[in-house]
Amino acid sequence: MPSDLELIGTCALFRGLPPAAIAELGAAAAVERFEKKVLLFHEGEPARALWMLRAGRLKLTKLGGNGQEIVVRFLIPGDPFGAIAILAGARYPVSAEAVEACEAFSWTPADVAALVERYPAIGMNSARVMSERMQELQERYRELATERVAQRVARAILRLARQTGRRVEGGVLLDLPLSRQDLAELTGTTLFTISRTLSEWEQQGLVELGRERVLIKSPHGLVTIAEDLPS
């Protein structure tokens, strides 16, 4: 369990800053706790803060006109969020919802502005973090446009494994409460199709399923599907 200053000093957004900056960031940060299913903020709301996840898991979601929701991504401790609103718009372009009990740091826009002024390396760090997320989203956009559902689902699960996977006996467990609905909203399909796809994979011994739970028994098998290789 890293200390708060350690987490702040090593996360992608604030890495490489002088100790004085880290200390200032720690001093300016507010810490809040959120229970499962609570919305930290929602899409369209004016940006109150720049956030960083301290503990737990949350998801960023986006709403469509018809009421359909999509999951933009899941976050793990150390991930910044709400940054786009602070940088580019005055409003959050996504909602943030705790998928389990969470704790998050927050900084007011004024504090952020002052810190960026004093430590301009934060600007470059932000650009780098954005670039990485952009690269991932471009890739997912391509997948959504050109690949079949099974392929996209396999990729999504492998990506989650890289992000939150935990080795346990029998395989790699996705270490977050992940409903079929969530997975559908992450991959641009429906609850039903996800259920059918996963059930089939369970038959074949690739995964083991539970309520809001996926354990990967054969990462290699999923790669085969993700890359559309002959089995």
Partner DNA sequence: CGTGGTCCTTGCGCTGGCGCAAAGACAGTC
Partner DNA sequence: GACTGTCTTTGCGCCAGCGCAAGGACCACG
Short-list 19, 27, 22, CA closest to 8: 22
Angle value at C-alpha 185, between 192 and 202, nearest 5 degrees: 45
Minimum CB separation of residue 116 from a copy of itself in Å reads 7
Minimum CB separation of residue 189 from DNA in Å reads 4
Residue 20 binds to a copy of itself (criterion: CB under 8 A): no
Which residues make up the interface to DNA (CB under 7 A)? 148-150, 179-181, 188-196, 198-199, 202, 209-212
Which of 28-36, 68-76, 174-182, 203-211 is the region at the interface with a copy of itself (rule: CB under 8 A)? 68-76
Complete DSSP assignment for 121-185:
HHHHHHHHHHHHHHHHHHHHHHHHHHS-HHHHHHHHHHHHHHHHEEEETTEEEE-S---HHHHHH
Residue 55 interacts with, from DNA, a copy of itself, none (CB under 5-8 Å by kind): none
Considering only 36, 133, 196, 217, the residue that binds a copy of itself (CB under 8 A) is 133
Q: How many residues bind a copy of itself (CB under 8 A)?
A: 45
Residue 199 binds to a copy of itself (criterion: CB under 8 A): no
SS3 category, 41:
strand
Angle value at C-alpha 28, between 22 and 31, nearest 5 degrees: 105
Nearest 10 degrees: Cα torsion 205, 206, 210, 211: -140
Residue type, 10: T
Minimum CB separation of residue 40 from DNA in Å reads 18
Residue 146 binds to a copy of itself (criterion: CB under 8 A): yes
Minimum CB separation of residue 63 from a copy of itself in Å reads 8
